Amino acid sequence: MAAEIVNPRSDSTTENSAEGAHEEPFDPAFALHRGGKMAIQATVPVRDKDDLSLAYTPGVAKVCSAIAEQPELVNDYTWKSNVVAVVTDGTAVLGLGDIGPEASLPVMEGKAILFKQFGGVDAVPIALATTDVDEIIETVVRLAPSFGGVNLEDISAPRCFEIERRLQEELDIPVFHDDQHGTAVVTLAALRNAAKLTGRTLGDLRAVISGAGAAGVAIAKFLLAAGLGDVAVADRKGIVSRDREDLTDVKRELAELTNRAGLSGSLETALVGADVFIGVSGGTVPEPAVASMAPQSFVFAMANPNPEVHPDVAHKYAAVVATGRSDYPNQINNVLAFPGIFAGALQVRATRITEGMKIAAANALADVVGDALAADYVIPSPFDERVAPAVTAAVAAAARAEGVARR
C-alpha cells in the first residue's frame, strides 16, 4: 500500500508507513499558523443594497473620478495612507538563509501582524519569485501606487543596499530595509542608555561589530552618525580595514568610515580594550576575548537562537548584557522600532525616512526607560504601551523638521 502523506501541521494520527501508524506530536507553532496568521477585514458595513451602492458601484465612481482629477486625494479616500508593503525575495530569512519566497511567507505575515499590533499600520506580505535586483525594483515600483510605504525584509546583502537606494530614488514614499535600520535604531537606543548608566557618552565608546552583512553595516554607519567614538567591523576574514584587498564595494566604503584606530587582524584582536561588542553574525566569541574588553563593557550578542556570547559568560565581565532573545533581559527587538517609525512617517505622509528620523526614533525609545534605567533594563519591552506612541510622535516631528513631511 502506498504511504499516506503526512501533514506536518496535523496533530492527528496518520498512517505514514507500511509498518503501521504513529501519532504526529502536537506542535503549537504549526497549530497557530494553520490557514495563515492574517486576513483582510472591511472597515465599512455592506448590509444592504444602499451600503453596496456606496461601497461599490455606483458610489465608488464618484471617488475614483475625484482621485483622477486630484491624485493626492488617494490618501484620504483609500487605505493607501496607512498601508505598507512588506517585500522579500526570501534570500535571507531569519537564521534560515535562502529558503525562497513561499517559505518566507510565514515571516512576512508575522511582520504584517506586528505592524498592526504595535503600530496600528496595515501591511501586506509580498514574496517575489525573483532575486534579480532590477526585477525586484521594477516590480515594487509598479506596485507602489497601492502603498504608503515599503518595508524591505530578509533580502540578502549586498543586493539589499542597492535595492533600497534605488527604490528610494524612484519613489516618493518611505522605503525602509528593517534588517538594516530597525536593528540599528534599537541598538542605538540600548547603547545610549547603557552609556548613561555607566556615566559615559557615545563619544567615549569604542565598539566592535561581528558581522558585515546588512545589519552590521547599517549599525556601524548609524552609530557613527549618532556620535560613537569609533567602531571596527569584523567579517569572517577579520577586521574590515583599508589594507585588505578582498573587500566588496560596500565593505570598502565601510573601511573608509570605520576603524579609526587602524586595527587589523581578527575579531579577537579588535575586542582587546573595546567598550562594546555587538554581535549580528552568529558563531561563538571565545570567553578570553570577552574578558579582554575594557572594564564596564557592554555585550550585545544578538544572534538567534544562540547568542555569540552566552549571557552567563557575558555577565562575568560586562556591565550591561543584551541579546536578541525574549527570555533574557534587554531584548534588541526590531518590533520596538519599525511599527512606530512607519506610523510616524505615514502620519505626515513623509517622502522618505531620514537619518534624523531614525535618530529621533532611537532617542524616543531610549527615553521610554526613564528613571527605571538599570543594568537589566536599558531597553523597554515590545509590550510597553508607551513605545509606539513615543516613536511615532518623534518620527513625525523629525519629518516635519527635516522638510520631508507633506502634511
Determine the Cα–Cα distance for residues 264 and 131; give it in Å rounded to an integer: 34
Q: Which residues pair with 230 in a beta bridge?
A: 206
Determine the Cα–Cα distance for residues 362 and 191; give it in Å rounded to an integer: 10
If 0-12 CB within 10 Å is exposed, 13-18 middle and 19+ buried, where does residue 47 land? exposed
Clarify whether 328 is annotated catalytic: no
- Enter the DSSP assignment of 296: T
* Structure-block grid coordinates of residue 80: 493607501
Which is the catalytic residue, given 80, 111, 251, 358?
Answer: 111
Binding-site annotation: residue ranges? 153-154, 179, 304, 333
| 3-class DSSP state of 228 | coil
**Cis geometry, peptide bond prior to residue 329 (ω within 30 degrees of 0):** no
**Cβ neighbours for 127, distance < 8 A, ≥ 6 positions apart:** 88, 89, 90, 101, 102, 104, 105, 108
* Structure-block grid coordinates of residue 263: 586595527
Sheet with 297-301, strands from edge to edge, namely: 238-239, 230-235, 206-210, 276-279, 297-301, 318-323
* Structure-block grid coordinates of residue 130: 525573483
DSSP letter string, 254-292: HHHHS-TT---S-HHHHHTT-SEEEE-S-S---HHHHHT
Clarify whether 317 is annotated catalytic: no
CA 75 to chain centre: 26
Binding-site annotation: residue ranges for a divalent metal cation? 153-154, 179
Determine the Cα–Cα distance for residues 398 and 385; give it in Å rounded to an integer: 21
Determine the Cα–Cα distance for residues 228 and 224; give it in Å rounded to an integer: 5
Catalytic residues: 56, 111
